[in-house]
A and B are shown apart, each in its own frame.
Chain A
Amino acid sequence: MIDPQRIAEIKRKISREFPEFKDIEPKITEKKIRPQDSIFKKLSLGRPKQFVTIFRLKFKKKVETVDHTEIERILIVSLDEQGEIIKITESR
């Protein structure tokens, strides 16, 4: 599992850069991604040999628009095995 100190760092980063998600506790998941053979084959790419492990911190929050429509906002921070950020993604 990922280092708790690293998680704390990321939570601070998200609070700083995305204040709307401040104080939201992320759901942390670990996912082992198996080699996606069929996709690589279909795209005529050499297939990867290894399983890849990624971690995801998912921040969810319900917000209300000006016309009182409720929207679920989702922010996902994807990390590699070393805890480095691969990408930060938001729901549209």
Chain B
Amino acid sequence: MRLLILSGKDALRKQIGDLSQIEKAVNTFIKLKKDYETIFLYYDRASKFRVKKVKKNVTYIRKYILDIEKKWGIIDNLLLLGGDSIIPFFRLDNPCDDGDNKVLSDNPYASRDDDFLIPERVCARIPDNRSADFIIKQFKKFSNTDRKSFGITAKIWKRASEDVYRQIGAPQDLRTSPPVTSDSFKESWLQKKRFLYFNLHGSKISANWYGQDKGDYPVALAPQNICNASGFVASEACYGAHILNKSHEDAISLRFLNEKEIYGFCGSTTIAYGPVAPPSSEADLLVKYFFEYVKQGLTVGESLMNAKVDFARKVLRRQGFLDDDDQKTLLQFVLYGDPTSRLNVRNRGGAARD
């Protein structure tokens, strides 16, 4: 299995400053990844593959990856090192008529052809959070051996969310907001867990995620509720993975990743959709499949890739076509963190890293 870790040296240096500690952490990570043939490249620097270096432009970077693949061989796993200012998200046309002008997506980096809906390789990203320590932390995560899950949903989606949550826990343990609010939220709920699941409202401009009961929209989770959290996070919140011009102070996704025992985050960059009740569709279905694969012992990167493929197959079997919100779901969900993390759910020893 090949793993390409890719970044832009000039842009990363501009964000972070001295890169020596990051490069050291990446090289240590590579040495520890004995199951992978791993290389770390800067797209704006010459490499041993003699592929022409490129500027910070999504199309050029994507072509650079394809050119490396021609020289090196099939790239199974791609890890983008840095946020939008280092390796930009693609701005794809939004299939839906909603408040998003474009869909921020990493899917094109995961595709070899021009059909970006269906990924062909694992693709994940380690955001930079403008901090070398933050990046280095992502390469040095240690998971615990706990087996429990935590989940919370807006009250109105309780039935739909239970259908997802049963993959990782007992549906009756799923909390709802209301009555839960950020004031009553206990930090311990997020501690010593393997999976953390959120089906809440999100906003592009707010740091918080919200519950709902009829016309009430309480704050269900605020960044300050996250302290010593552990496990893998999957969120269906609108803008749950939106990180442009954000930091761990005002983006829950980055706040989670700043925790030493959170080893990944899967969420949506834009307005996401889901059903009001079972059967699962859109974001609910994608996250449900993701959990299924992680439980089977696949890496989190493989799990998201397979979940997208299965999602498309299921929807095509169900209705014969991918409609606007199905397409948007496939494009908007991204993975943050080390894609080779694996939760050894089937083993009694609990969650563990490769």
Q: Which A residues lie within 8 Å of B98 (CB)?
A: 72, 74, 91
**How many chain B residues have a CB neighbour from A under 8 Å?**
47
Question: Is A57's beta carbon under 8 Å from chain B?
Answer: no
B275 contact from A45, A64, A72, A87, Cβ within 8 A: A87
Known: A63-B217, A91-B238, A92-B237. A86 touches B319 (CB 8 A): yes
B236 A92 Cβ-Cβ under 8 A:
yes
A92 B115 Cβ-Cβ under 8 A:
no
A43 B274 Cβ-Cβ under 8 A:
no
B121 → A minimal CB distance (Å): 13
Produce 1/0 per residue, B299-329, CB < 8 A to A: 0000000000100110010011111110000
A69 B316 Cβ-Cβ under 8 A:
no
Interface hits, A53-92 → B, CB 8 Å: 54, 56, 58, 63-67, 69-72, 74, 76, 78, 86-92
Question: Is A38's beta carbon under 8 Å from chain B?
Answer: yes
Q: Which A residues lie within 8 Å of B215 (CB)?
A: 20, 63
Write the residues of chain A forming the contact surface with B, with a CB cutoff of 8 angstroms: 18-20, 27, 29, 31, 33, 36, 38-40, 42-43, 45, 48, 52, 54, 56, 58, 63-67, 69-72, 74, 76, 78, 86-92
B273 contact from A20, A40, A69, A90, Cβ within 8 A: A90
15 intermolecular pairs with C-beta atoms under 8 Å apart: A18-B276, A36-B316, A38-B113, A39-B115, A39-B118, A42-B118, A65-B201, A65-B210, A66-B219, A69-B205, A72-B99, A87-B281, A92-B238, A92-B272, A92-B273
